[in-house]
Every structure is written in structure tokens, then in C-alpha cells.
Amino acid sequence: MPLRSAALTVICAAVLAACGGGGDSGRLTADEYRSQGNAACQRYEQAVKKLAQPSSLQDVSAYADDAREELASLVDQLEALDPPQDLQDRHDQLIALGRQSEDALGDLAEAGDSQSKTQMTKALAAAANLDQRSDTLARDLGLNRCADQS
């Protein structure tokens, strides 16, 4: 009986290992992560393209608010992904930059409300810097669709 029990244990362990059991079982593979992340960025890009482009300083506020909502949705979708362990740190950095970009769009909306060109210039510069940094990280993660949509 003990030999049979030991054999059953070995068989169960082999089956679990073959099915991906243990350790990182809830994590996406790198390909799954990239596929789902790029799909989320494509949906974001399509949503932003549908927004009415601002034609005056007053329009900037509404556009920035709408774009911020779309960006928040994208960042939420990306944050919900469980990347492979070797991508986790860069993924976390990308999420942090996304949240900072949401804040930058909020600053841009405020600048539009106040119609301050100086405030708008500062907000645009901050947003451009964050965009460049997030594009670099996105490419590094293989989320090229996220980098190409800016």
C-alpha cells in the first residue's frame, strides 16, 4: 500500500507540473500579457479618436477631462493584468506613469478652465514627458500598441 500511495503522489505531482500548477499559476504568459495589453491600448486609441478635438482654450478642458476618463479606464485594464514575474516591475512602473498621466490631464483641464496659456504650456510639457517615458516602458514590455497610439 505505501508503494501505491507514493506512486500516486508522484503521478499527481507530474500532472500538476504539466498543467502549470503551483507558483505563478495565475500569471499570464508573456504572449498573453502582450496580447491583452495591446488590445486594451487599441480600445483606448479608438475611444480617444472619437473625442471631439479642441478648437479653443475653452474646449481643452472638456477634451482633457474626457481623455482622462479614457486613460483611467485603460490604466485600470492594464493594472488588472497579472504579468509574468520578470515583467512585473516594469509593469508596475507603467501603471504608475499612467496614474501620473491622469493627473497631468487633470492639470491640463484646469489650465483650460482658467484659460491660462502659461499653465497650459506647463501641463502640456509634463504630459509630453510622461508620454515619452511611458512609451519607452511600453515598448520594453512589448506593448507596442500602447507606445504607438500617442
Which whole-number Å values give the CA distances from 114 to 54, 57, 117, in the listed order?
A: 15, 9, 9
- What is the Cα gyration radius of the chain? 22
Q: How many other C-beta atoms can be found within 10 angstroms of the C-beta atom of residue 47?
A: 16
Tens-binned pLDDT, residue by residue, of the chain (150 aa): 443 443 334 343 333 344 444 455 689 999 999 999 999 999 999 999 999 998 887 788 999 999 999 999 999 999 999 999 999 999 999 999 999 999 999 999 998 888 888 998 999 999 999 999 999 999 999 999 999 764
Q: In order of start, what are the domains of the chain with their CATH numbers?
A: 28-148 (1.20.120)
Does the pTM exceed 0.75?
A: yes
Q: How many other C-beta atoms can be found within 10 angstroms of the C-beta atom of residue 126?
A: 17
